[in-house]
Every structure is written in C-alpha cells, then in structure tokens.
Structure 1
Amino acid sequence: MLYPINLNIQNMKITIIGGGKVAYRKVTNFLDFGKKVTVVSKEFVDEFSEIKDKIEMIYDEYNERYIEDSFVVVAATNNKEINHKIGTYCNEKGKLVNVVDDKNISNFTVPSYVKRGELLLSISTGGNSPSLSAKIKKELEETYDESYEEYIELLGLARKRIIEENKDIRERRKKIKALIELSVDELKEKI
C-alpha cells in the first residue's frame, strides 16, 4: 500500500527517461506544478514540440549519468529492461522512482488529480484501475470547478485574518470552521 504525500518539488531535479506519449503525460503533470524537467530520449513524439521551451530535452539513449543528481526519476521508455534497470539503480541510490510499467519496482506513483489553485484532489487505485481513477477524476472536475481556485484563496486570507485577530484558540477554530459555510461573495465581504 502506498502512503499519500505532497512534495515541494521546486528545488528537486526531476528527470524523465522516455520520449513517448506516457513520458509526455508525465512531463505535463510536472509542468502543471511549475516544475521544469529534463527529458532524455533518442526520439520524441510530436507533442513534445509544443512544450520544448519549458523543458530540457536531451537526445540520447539512457545513461546513469543523466539521473545521478536527480531526486525524482520517471522511467517511461518502451523497453521494460531499461525501465527495470533505472528502477533498480534509483532504489539502490535512494531516489524517488516511478517505473511506468512496473509498480513493484516503483517507490512512488503519480495519482490522477484535480488542481484548482491550492486545492489538490488526488485519486489513486494503487495502479489497479486507471480507468476508475479517470472516471472519479471527471466527477471531481465537475463538482469542484474553476471557481474553487478563488474560493480557496479567499478562505486562506480569511483564516489568516482570524488567526491574527483572535488569541483564543477555541474561538479561532469556531470561526475558521464557519468559513466553509460561506459563499465566495460572503468571503469577499469578510476580507
């Protein structure tokens, strides 16, 4: 069973080995969180041309030197042996590694997610049913639309003000808990 965790990846070097559609999807996930990544492959699918200015692309086959100083590695080649080799190396060196075709050698997986500003909802079936994850993601996207980005920001501002203005912790908790019952417009009035 996997342990859920959110990582601040801003100061971590991230390398993805592979240039296919799966690698592209992994790259765009990191880009969604403002992280530039290095991608190593002899060939890249056309979609990479859309994001080439946002990533470092190395046209080469896999070599350990490309991941020596990486903290997070994704093995997304179309070669199971190379992916396994990457996974083994990363596990031996204490790196986070996601091997896309072998969850048993991976020490992390990337769940499906819905991101609305600072609201992050993740969905995982432990790799057992990506189709179910996709279905749940679609349902969550409909329930938690883009308006939640502003709502979360306003809740944070209101919470900060309550903490600054109330020394009694019980009073703070009561007021903070009441915030989630307010609409966006009501929150705007409070700030």
Structure 2
Amino acid sequence: MSKLFYPININLDNLEIIIIGGGNIALRKCKNFLEFGKSVTVLSPEFKRDFLEIEEKVDFIQDIFKEEYIDEFDMVIAATDDKETNEEIACICRKKSKFVNVVDNREFSDFITTSYLKRGDLLIGISTGGKVPALSSKIRRDLEEIYDEDFSDYVEILAKIRKEVIKKYSDKTERRKVLKSLVELELDELKNFEI
C-alpha cells in the first residue's frame, strides 16, 4: 500500500527550518517559506546564482552536509542533487526526531509540500500525494483563473461581514442561513451588502 499523507496547515512561527541543497528545488522551497513569512537556513557547498535575490532574507551555510548541522532545527528539507545523501539525511532526522521532507523520495519523507494557491487568507492546497507534481501544478494554474487576485479582497470583506452577522443573529439556524447566502454573492455585491 502506498504511503498516505494527511493534509494539515502548520504554524511555522516557532519552528526552525533548514533546507539542505543549493539548486533549483531548494530555491523554490526557500521562496515558498518566505511567501509565508518564514525565514530559513540553507546549507550547501554551492548555491544557484538566483539565491542572490533573496540573500538578505535567508541564512546561508556554505559547507557540505554534516549531521551536527541539523541539531538546532525542527524541520529539514533534503533537497540535494544526490539521492543517497538525501536518504542519509532522512535516516539521521528520524534518529533525531526531526520532521523531514526528502524532495526526491516520498517514502523517506515525514511530510510532503503541496502545490498551493494563496489569495490573502485563502489557501488552497493541491496534492497528488507526491506522485504527479505536474498535475498538481496544472490544477493550481486552473484554479488561478477561477480565484484571481481580487479574491483576497473577497475573503477580507466576507470575514468582516461574518463577524457582524454572528453579532446580529443569535439564532444559529438563521445565522447559518445568512452566512450560506453570503458566499453566493459576487465581490461587488458583498461591498454593498448591509446587515
């Protein structure tokens, strides 16, 4: 039976994260964490030139992987270009009770990162369980057309109206009915909505 991954959103505030690798995948993972406001450490003997764009937001360790480098970290991303090194990192992480993602081997991973669409507070994760990342990316592109950049405003306005509805309607059935009807409204209708 194939390994199953449980979908979960994690608060990264109190987690220390290290990405081991300096290539394209490591860079993409790094940028994803930065998009969620989380700075990370990246360890590699060499770094893709594009890391210069984000050098002020990332801590770099220019060295080969050594076991002691992961001691102070809670989450480890093994993203080297060497499969054996990535598997070694995973085994060490298990021994040290570190949460690990091996980018080229889901069987060695405690978690996988999904493709996602982020519009303000709206976050839609898309996953094929690590089996077909290209399909996850295609679905994300399709969703980008449905939920464009304006959707972050939609979520914000809807959240404000929801608070007012909760204050106004003490009857839970009536409240639920009003809240259900709100999500059917377009952005312009929400902007003009009065409780």
TM norm structure 2: 0.93
Structure 2 matches for 1:160-175, cutoff 5 A? Answer: 160-175=163-178
The alpha carbon displacement at 1:29 in A equals: 0.8
- Per-residue CA shift, 1:89-115, capped at 9, x if unaligned? 222333221101111010100111111
The alpha carbon displacement at 1:166 in A equals: 1.9
Structure 2 matches for 1:21-36, cutoff 5 A? Answer: 21-36=24-39
Match of 1:114 among 100, 113, 117: 117
| RMSD of aligned residue pairs (Cα, Å) | 1.3
Instruction: List gaps (5 residues or longer) in structure 1.
Output: none
Instruction: List gaps (5 residues or longer) in structure 2.
Output: none
Structure 2 matches for 1:50-65, cutoff 5 A? Answer: 50-65=53-68
Match of 2:87 in 1: 84
- Per-residue CA shift, 1:79-135, capped at 9, x if unaligned? 222211111122233322110111101010011111111111111111211121121
User: Take 2:175 and 2:94, find their aligned partners in 1: how far apart are those partners?
Assistant: 44
Match of 1:129 in 2: 132
Tell me the secondary structure at the aligned position of residue 34 of structure 1: coil
- Per-residue CA shift, 1:49-74, capped at 9, x if unaligned? 00001111111111222221212110
Match of 1:15 among 5, 18, 31: 18
Number of aligned pairs?
A: 191
TM norm structure 1: 0.95
The alpha carbon displacement at 1:16 in A equals: 0.3
User: Take 2:143 and 2:17, find their aligned partners in 1: how far apart are those partners?
Assistant: 28
The percent of aligned pairs where both chains have the same amino acid is 50
The alpha carbon displacement at 1:175 in A equals: 1.2
Tell me the secondary structure at the aligned position of residue 104 of structure 1: helix
User: Take 2:129 and 2:164, find their aligned partners in 1: how far apart are those partners?
Assistant: 39
The alpha carbon displacement at 1:145 in A equals: 0.6
User: Take 1:158 and 1:94, find their aligned partners in 2: how far apart are those partners?
Assistant: 44
What amino acid does structure 1 have at the position aligned with 2:135? Answer: L
Tell me the secondary structure at the aligned position of residue 145 of structure 1: coil
